[in-house]
Structure 1
Amino acid sequence: MSRIKAGDELMGFPRAFIYAGVPAVVATLWNVSDEATAILMDDFYRNLKVSDKAEALRSAQLKLLKNPGSRNAYYWAAFYLTGDFR
């Protein structure tokens, strides 16, 4: 029987969605500002209309990176895509 280690919940929750049949999940590695998350997700879904999931997330992260108020990695680097990236 495997033991649960500190940090397992970070990957376990998104993995549970994948195992349940959800094709892809955008998740975070740490708590992120609600404002930055709202901006990133708005841009992500707008980008998703014209590109695949991976590029949509990348573009949304780059937009936060280019903004002086959200340039710090805390605001944009926590987000990752798991599952089908297309």
Structure 2
Amino acid sequence: MAKKVNVTPLHDRVIVKAAAAEEKTSGGIIIPDTAKEKPQRGTVIAAGPGKKDEPVTVKSGDTVLYGKYAGTEIQIDGEEYLIMRESDILAIV
């Protein structure tokens, strides 16, 4: 389940906890740290209220897919999160 944070994003911003990067391939080969790809899946931790006539469609706890370079990395209470606009989210899984 999504962890509760004491930060509320403004407008159409969303805070996402990125999923862990893959450690092994499907064939069992261990991937070194230098070759790991940036994850494109995560869990929504908090969402803002949306713009005036456009409410936010994602909610806390949703698993989402987002662009490879979407969002800005931030640290809250020692944890790594991404903050991005809702339009950077491609799909809800």
The interval holding the TM-score normalised by the smaller chain is under 0.3
Q: Which has the higher strand share?
A: 2
Which has the higher relative contact order, 1 or 2, with Cα contacts under 8 A spaced 6 or more apart? 1
TM-score between both structures, scaled by the size of structure 2: 0.22
